[in-house]
Amino acid sequence: MKKLSKDKIRLRREKAKIIVRKLRKIFPDAKVALNHSNPWELLVAVILSAQCTDKKVNEVTKKLFKKYKTLDDYVKADIDEFKKDIYQTGFYNAKAKNILTSAKMVKEKFGGKVPDTMEELLGLPGVARKTANIILSSAYGKAEGIAVDTHVKRLANVLGLSDEKDPNKIEKDLMQIVPREDWIDFNYLLVNYGRKYCPAIIHDHAKCPLTKLLNRKII
């Protein structure tokens, strides 16, 4: 990971401020798109969202959360039946194993409460920094980092906020330039922007609101 010059960091900080200010006006109610009613359901939903759209996850969890109402329901769940319940989200073998194993760990190691620290969350199967950041920010209001999903990864490069490709390195870059008070919302703002104005499919970046605002040439 290259060390950025002070001038480059300063310019990126100014750019990040402009981006956050603009996106807060466009998306004043930006929040996590995954439906949930408690930290455990959010953890389940985020694990299911790997390589799957939030829309599809919400369709699956609408039935799933009615069938499995408590943490104990997951602890006692039959894994083969659970795989069928989450089949539509893809990668159901790994997801089922991670969710049901996490349920047992949360009950036995954490007294039935989803942990609220980065270190403890990363100890759960299927939980990397992106998932942990979403849990900490959305369930507990804690800003320990910035969740870097496919939208944030792509847009951080497109908008000139990071030159890195690895999510963890992109997160470090963003944490240097985005004010900490904006860390929680930064992911949700970029996700909304990516979906509405700047999708991954080939399109004219010149027509994207932030491109015009930043007056930045994007090839």
Of residues 216, 206, 75, the one with CA closest to residue 157:
216
Alpha-carbon distance of 21 to 185, in angstroms, equals 11
How far from 124 is each of 75, 109, 153, CA to CA, in Å? Answer: 14, 11, 23
Task: Kindly tell me the sign of the dihedral angle through the C-alpha atoms of 117, 2, 19, 127.
Answer: negative
Alpha-carbon distance of 115 to 135, in angstroms, equals 9
Alpha-carbon distance of 110 to 188, in angstroms, equals 28
Active-site amino acid positions: 130, 149
Whether the Cβ atoms of residue 57 and residue 49 lie closer than 8 Å to each other: yes
Of residues 106, 102, 92, 109, the one with CA closest to residue 125:
102
